[in-house]
Amino acid sequence: MINQADLGLLDGFERALINHRLNMVYQPKIALADGQLKRVEALVRWDDPKLGKVPPSRFVPLAERHGLIDQLTQWGLRTTLRQWIEWRDQGVDTCIAFNISALSLEQLDFPDLVERMCRALDVPTDRLVLELTEGSTQPLIKLMDTLTRFRIKGIGLAMDDFGVGYSTLMQLRQLPFTELKIDRFFVDDAVTSADSRAIVASIIQLARSLDLSVTAEGVETEAQLHLLCDLGCDVAQGYWIAEPLEPELLGQWQSDWAKRWAALSKGRGRTSRPVPVAAGSRN
């Protein structure tokens, strides 16, 4: 059963999808070893003339429930891969992180489809990382074959929102992930709460021992960034570094950020331990 409000939303969303009225924005993630742009996370946006800005947390689950998720995923991925080519041609060298619904993974030929899209648009598969969260329909562990096929094709796999919801240590051990993303819930009060700080430190250690790259999301303050550097986190993402950006703003952000990072490093040189170097082999 679908209620009246969701029905209106679903109808509007379907029209926006068909008429190409959705947008992708891109949030930079930086390597904490050197401040360089590591990759960008693609995030979908829907600004409806009648409904206004509808957040993805509202329409993505609706698309999942009503058979529109594959269409959304394919449109979003194609748009993002084309954008990567545009950046490359402008001299912006980066990788893409793309959110995938666990439902799309149930399509057996999904890894082949993603590979074909990369090939058709001339994007090397090792420039792509798929971010996955545990779906409520079936545990990721049941999708082992699909996930392994992505890795064989050179596509990276990040476990998103680690530490909340359904993600488990068992899955981390058994599934071929390349990256772990610490949920922003823990990053949020890591500076002020010893408990959250201990959790963040333990997740970073866990990722290290499993040879996974570790990203902290939701960095909203300079103090959080310093703490994450000190704890040896590899990558950071959050509003303090950059909000999700329109694609044409990435180049400008990169040069502004280089100046901010230089100033930060200077400050850290006087007051803190050196920034730890992340393992170079991790993607």
Q: Kind and range of the H or E element at 238?
A: none
**Nearest-angstrom CA–CA distance, 132 and 205:** 21
28 counts as binding ligand C2E under rule CB under 6 A? no
Cα dihedral 232/35/236/94 (nearest 10)? -130
Q: Shortest Cβ contact with ligand C2E: which residue?
A: 238
Structure tokens at 43: 């995030």
Residue with token string 């990072």: 261
Within residues 55-114, the interface with ligand C2E by CB under 6 A covers: 55-57, 60, 76, 99, 101
Question: Helices then strands (H, E): number in the chain?
Answer: 10, 9
Q: Which stretch binds Ca ion (CB under 5 A): 5-13, 21-29, 161-169, 240-248?
A: 161-169
Q: Do the beta carbons of residue 121 and residue 85 sit within 8 Å?
A: yes
C-beta closer to ligand C2E: residue 4 or 66: 66
Least distance (Å) from Ca ion to the CB of residue 202? 18
Kindly tell me which of 109 and 239 has the beta carbon lying closer to ligand C2E: 239
For residues 88-108, b (16+ Cβ closer than 10 Å) or e, as one string?
Answer: eeeeeebbbbbbbbbbbbeee
Q: Does 166 bind ligand C2E (CB under 6 A)?
A: no
Residue ranges in 32-61 that form contacts with ligand C2E under rule CB under 6 A = 43-44, 55-57, 60
Q: Is the dihedral of CA 109, 154, 118, 161 positive or negative?
A: positive
Instruction: Please state whether beta strands 37-48 and 52-54 pair in parallel, antiparallel, or not at all (unpaired).
Output: antiparallel
Closest residue (Cβ) to Ca ion? 131
Q: What angle do CA 275, 277, 283 make, to 5 degrees?
A: 130
Per-residue x/- marks for Ca ion, 100-139, CB under 5 A?
-------------------------------x--------
For 145, counting Cβ atoms within 10 Å of its Cβ (0-12 exposed, 13-18 middle, 19+ buried), the class is exposed
Instruction: Pick one of ligand C2E, Ca ion, none as the site partner of residue 166 (Cβ within 5 to 8 A by kind).
Output: none
Q: Write the CA distances from 161 to 34, 134, 154, 157, integer angstroms.
A: 24, 9, 23, 13
**Under rule CB under 6 A, which residues in 179-208 are in contact with ligand C2E?**
184
Segment interacting with Ca ion, rule: CB under 5 A, options 27-35, 98-106, 250-258, 266-274: 98-106
Is position 160 an interface residue for Ca ion (rule: CB under 5 A)? yes
Report d(CA 62, CA 44) in Å as an integer. 14
The interface partner of residue 43, options being ligand C2E, Ca ion, none and the CB cut-off 5 to 8 Å by kind, is: ligand C2E
- Of residues 55 and 267, the one with the C-beta less far from ligand C2E: 55
Look-up of token digits 């509202």: 58
Task: Check binding of 161 to ligand C2E (CB under 6 A).
Answer: yes
CB of 97 to Ca ion, least distance (A): 7
Q: Which residue, 6 or 220, is less far from ligand C2E as judged by CB? A: 220
Residues that bind Ca ion (CB under 5 A): 99, 131, 160-161
Residues that bind ligand C2E (CB under 6 A): 27, 43-44, 55-57, 60, 76, 99, 101, 131, 160-161, 184, 218-220, 238-239, 244
